[in-house]
């Protein structure tokens, strides 16, 4: 050791030792400060997590209130449409009874008319995706566009029939035409009013009212008809239109908002739809068996 120090300056040695000690102290202090800061950041993170935990029930409550508001909105709109549909049905039956006094030409004719697959509608409605939205919203968005398209088709047909030309050849038919001229505009105007309300409700929930081309149903109808054809047109269309309105009323309502008489009708309607569904399944099974 003495040999090593013999050629080395003592002052330089002392300075080197002091510098080394200072560097060691500085590193230890820096480590201590970093440790304290890390501890403080963990405390802050813990406090933030607690604050966020306190805020979560409030966020959940806001989401729940918004969900309830949307649900009430769709329920309210659906109820309004149901009331309008029921009024349309009642008004139509009143005019139909008024026109249905004569027993002449009570038989119908073959006309291409809109077909509503209520069996498929009920099945699809039951198996809608439940994770996306509330039942009221899913029900509204699935049913109302289909109802609107079907109403458009019948409106086009009824409007065409109200403008057909015919000549009275006897007194009874002349009386019928007088009643017809009064009833048809009221039926079509009532139907148009229902469609407009549905269209507005669709737009209020950011949905576009569907469009449908109904020329296929009108091409089989004559614009100029005789007495017999006029009766047959009216009877055929009115019978199908009555079934159509009753079917939609049963689809869109439940036992709580129906009368006893309506519940009986709708019970028969739903029973028939279930039978048709079973019959349809049996046909599919037979087809599959034939393939093999």
In this prediction, residues 42-71 reach a mean pLDDT of 57
User: Is 158:237 a contact under the CB 8 Å cutoff?
Assistant: yes
pLDDT at position 1: 47
The C-alpha atoms of residue 169 and residue 54 are separated, in whole angstroms, by: 84
Q: Which of the pair, 146 or 52, is modelled with greater confidence? A: 146
Q: Please, which pLDDT band fits residue 245 given cuts at 50, 70 and 90?
A: very high
Whether residue 84 has pLDDT greater than 90: yes
Percent of the chain's residues with pLDDT above 70: 67
User: Is 115:246 a contact under the CB 8 Å cutoff?
Assistant: no
What are 201-215's pLDDT values in tens digits? Answer: 999 999 999 998 888
Q: Domain spans of the chain?
A: 79-291
In this prediction, residues 70-84 reach a mean pLDDT of 90
Beta-bridged to residue 224, according to DSSP, are 165
Whether residue 49 has pLDDT greater than 70: no
The C-alpha atoms of residue 251 and residue 126 are separated, in whole angstroms, by: 11
CA 197 to chain centre: 15
In this prediction, residues 50-60 reach a mean pLDDT of 53
The C-alpha atoms of residue 13 and residue 34 are separated, in whole angstroms, by: 32
Whether residue 24 has pLDDT greater than 80: no
Tokens matching residue 56 = 């979560």
pLDDT at position 7: 52
pLDDT at position 136: 87
Model confidence, pTM: 0.72
In this prediction, residues 92-113 reach a mean pLDDT of 76
The region of weakest confidence among 17-21, 177-181, 285-289 is 285-289
pLDDT at position 124: 80
pLDDT at position 111: 82
Q: Which of the pair, 138 or 286, is modelled with greater confidence? A: 138
Whether residue 247 has pLDDT greater than 90: yes
What are 179-189's pLDDT values in tens digits? Answer: 999 999 999 99
Q: Which of the pair, 188 or 53, is modelled with greater confidence? A: 188
The C-alpha atoms of residue 120 and residue 225 are separated, in whole angstroms, by: 36
Q: Which of the pair, 257 or 244, is modelled with greater confidence? A: 244
pLDDT at position 89: 94
Q: Please, which pLDDT band fits residue 4 given cuts at 50, 70 and 90?
A: very low
């Amino acid at each position: 050791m003495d040999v090593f120090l013999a050629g080395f300056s003592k002052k330089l040695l002392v300075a080197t030792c002091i510098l080394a000690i200072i560097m060691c102290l500085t590193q230890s202090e820096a480590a201590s400060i970093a440790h304290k800061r890390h501890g403080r950041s963990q405390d802050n993170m813990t406090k933030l997590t607690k604050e966020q935990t306190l805020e979560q029930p409030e966020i959940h409550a806001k989401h729940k209130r918004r969900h309830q508001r949307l649900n009430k909105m769709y329920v309210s709109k659906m109820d309004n449409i149901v009331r309008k549909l029921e009024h349309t049905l009642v008004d139509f039956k009143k005019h139909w009874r008024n026109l249905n006094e004569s027993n002449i030409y009570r038989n119908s004719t073959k006309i291409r008319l809109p077909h509503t697959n209520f069996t498929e509608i009920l099945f699809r409605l039951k198996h809608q995706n439940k994770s996306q939205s509330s039942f009221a919203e899913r029900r509204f968005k699935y049913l109302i566009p289909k109802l609107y398209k079907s109403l458009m088709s019948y409106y086009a047909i009824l409007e065409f029939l109200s403008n057909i030309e015919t000549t009275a050849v006897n007194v009874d038919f002349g009386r019928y035409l007088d009643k017809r001229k009064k009833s048809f505009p009221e039926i079509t105007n009532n139907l148009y009013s229902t469609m407009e309300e549905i269209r507005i409700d669709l737009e209020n929930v950011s949905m576009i009212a569907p469009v449908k081309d109904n020329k296929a149903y009108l091409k089989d109808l004559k614009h100029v008809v005789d007495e017999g054809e006029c009766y047959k047109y009216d009877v055929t269309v009115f019978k199908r239109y009555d079934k159509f309105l009753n079917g939609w009323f049963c689809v869109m309502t439940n036992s709580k908002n129906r009368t006893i008489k309506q519940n009986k009708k709708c019970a028969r309607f739903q029973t028939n739809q279930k039978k048709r569904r079973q019959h349809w399944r049996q046909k599919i099974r037979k087809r599959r068996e034939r393939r093999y």
